[in-house]
Amino acid sequence: MSSNEVKKDESKFDRLKKLFKGNSKTSSPSNLPHVPLQTSPQNPFQLTQACVNSIGCGHPESYRIKNIKDLTEIIQTKMIKKEHIVTLWNCVRDLKTSDNSIARQTCFRFFYSLIQGQHERLETMKSVIFDDLNSVKYVEDFDYKILCFQSLTQNGKNLSKIEEETGPAVAAWEKELVNDYEKLKGKIVIEFLRLIVNIIKYNAAHLDEENLSELVRETCNLAQVTDNLEEMKSCLALLMCIVSYSYLPTDCLYAVVVCLCKVLNVHTDCVSSVWKLMRAIFQDHLGHAALLVTCRILEDKENAKDTILLRGAVYFVGAALWGRERVETIKCPASVVLPCMIQALVNSDHPLVAYEIARSVRRLIEKYGTDCEMMTWSGVLDVIQTLLDFTNSNVFAASSALSPHILTEFHRIISDVEDAYEKESNFSSLADRFFDIVEECANDRPEKSLLLLIQHRVLLVHPNLPGWTIQLKELVDKYFR
């Protein structure tokens, strides 16, 4: 979404809120200020029967609209009798299904003013109002429905009388928002997501697992269709709120992991927020399950073409197990996940995946190289061999943009492993295999690396070892001629 489109949507939404809430610069019936009530429960404003009848369905629609607009100012600024609240609502409610958009908007503004002005006196009317809002079907009325619901529930904080009905309704509304996103995108999306955040913060106990699952799935769907940064941040804030104030249902864990893997690469301004959310999931009761899901994403051949997804999964695995903010509660050695990364590269054969794997493995060696067990070193060598094979492939030759970066990361890994070898770490038992790999790329290695290779090969030339004369001849022919 361009900046002009964002401004256009925001200005449209602001105009809508002013239409509902009023503007202090004018007091015309179509643009009313929201002021304290000018009456009291002991002395309510007296509505005449003629005034009530003038907005009923027995009159032409245009006549009703005019009278409703005039009455809107009264119900927002003056207290009326409880029985009149029900009467007025019943007189106007039929207009919310009118084919005339002006009639519907007038009706919704009347609803909003009635809710605002008489909020403390609605009592059991809240459930009736909620049912009417929930039955709104026109897409163009979605904004009005949300604004009225915001006012009815004090921005999601107070669900008295409608606790059980709110969860299914809000989940259905979010699905409606996702399905009609192109028509509804704009500031109302952010307002609606913030409304759901408040519902979860203050009323999480009233949302069952089915409603939570639906909210999570639709939020993930919305995060993957929006190109608006603020909408994306609102989606992440909602998911974080669910993890923090409620719980993440097991049946939607895969959808969340896939969403975060993709968002991580698409919205670079949200990287820290995405990792914060994913880290919270790893630290939660589903932490090991989330890691398992991430590894399965890497291994699944169905994801071979989805390089954005695979790259995100590689990043999360590395960040959780050996990153700067590693998750201490996850007990999983690197040797378990490295084969998954290899499988992802083999399946995808894509330079972006190769680059992310190379970066991740390099961080592992730099930070924990001296403490790695032999099984981890074996996995590292498998990764190095796979990367070497990839750099010799036709795909690598065609990826001119990433090729230099991949080669740089690859040779940095080789150099880090050589440092670990010289420090006599647990890697030493795999030295023969490692130097076989170094020998394959010897033409691209620096002098120091070749000297270390020769030094290791010389150790194998000993009269007590079989075939030592052949090995000596090969060594001299290769490096001293």
Instruction: Kindly report, residue by residue over 54-84, the tens digit of the pLDDT.
Output: 999 888 999 999 999 999 988 888 888 888 8
Confidence check: pLDDT of 396 > 90: no
Residue 401: what pLDDT? 86
More confident residue, 301 or 460: 301
| Cα 174–Cα 179–Cα 181 angle in degrees, nearest 5 | 85
Which pLDDT does position 352 carry in this prediction?
94
pTM for this predicted structure:
0.86
pLDDT in tens, 303-347: 999 999 999 999 999 999 999 999 999 999 999 999 999 999 999
pLDDT the model gives residue 16: 56
Can you give the three-state secondary structure of the chain, one letter per residue? CCHHHHHHHHHHHHHHHHHHHCCCCCCCCCCCCCCCCCCECCECECCCHHHHHCCCCCCCHHHHHHHHHHHHHHHHHCCECHHHHHHHHHHHHHHHHCCCHHHHHHHHHHHHHHHHHCHHHCCCHHHHHHHHHHCCCCHHHHHHHHHHHHHHCCCCCCCCCCHHHHHHHHHHHHHHHHHCHHHHCCHHHHHHHHHHHHHHHHHHHHCCHHHHHHHHHHHHHHHHHCCCHHHHHHHHHHHHHHHHHCCCCHHHHHHHHHHHHHHHHHCHHHHHHHHHHHHHHHHCCCHHHHHHHHHHHHHCHHHCCCHHHHHHHHHHHHHHHHCCCCCCCCCCCHHHHHHHHHHHHHHHCCHHHHHHHHHHHHHHHHHHHHHCCHHHHHHHHHHHHHHHHHHCCHHHHHCCCCHHHHHHHHHHHHHHHHHHHHCCCHHHHHHHHHHHHHHHCHHHCCHHHHHHHHHHHHHCCCCCCCCHHHHHHHHHHHHCC
Give me the mean pLDDT over the 262-276 stretch: 92
Note the pLDDT of residue 480. Answer: 66
Provide the pLDDT for residue 114. 93
Look at 306-310, 375-379, 465-469 and tell me which has the smallest mean pLDDT: 465-469
The residues, ordered by sequence, that sit 6+ positions from 467 with a Cβ below 8 Å of its Cβ are none
Higher pLDDT residue, 318 or 400? Answer: 318
Report the pLDDT value the prediction gives residue 45, as an integer from 0 to 100.
73
The residue with greater pLDDT, 3 or 240, is: 240
Question: Is residue 219 over pLDDT 50?
Answer: yes
Per residue in 241-267, pLDDT (tens digit) is 999 999 999 999 999 999 999 999 988
Mean pLDDT computed over 91-103: 93
- Burial of 143-175, coded b for 16+ CB within 10 Å and e otherwise, reads bbbbbbbbbbbebbebbebbeeebbebbbebbb
> What is the average per-residue pLDDT within 444-449?
92
pLDDT-based confidence at residue 34 (cuts at 50, 70, 90): very low
Percent of the chain residues past pLDDT 70, beyond the cut: 88
Q: How much is the pLDDT for 397? A: 75
| pLDDT at position 290 | 98
pLDDT for 405 equals 93
- Residue 32 confidence (pLDDT) above 50: no
Please give the structure tokens belonging to residue 8.
């256009």
Crossing angle (nearest 10°) for helices 125-134 and 82-92: 20
pLDDT at residue 29, rounded to an integer: 34
Lowest mean pLDDT among 218-227, 418-427, 463-472: 463-472
Percent of the chain with pLDDT over 90: 67
Residues present in the chain in total: 481
Mean pLDDT of the chain: 87
**Residue 255 pLDDT:** 97
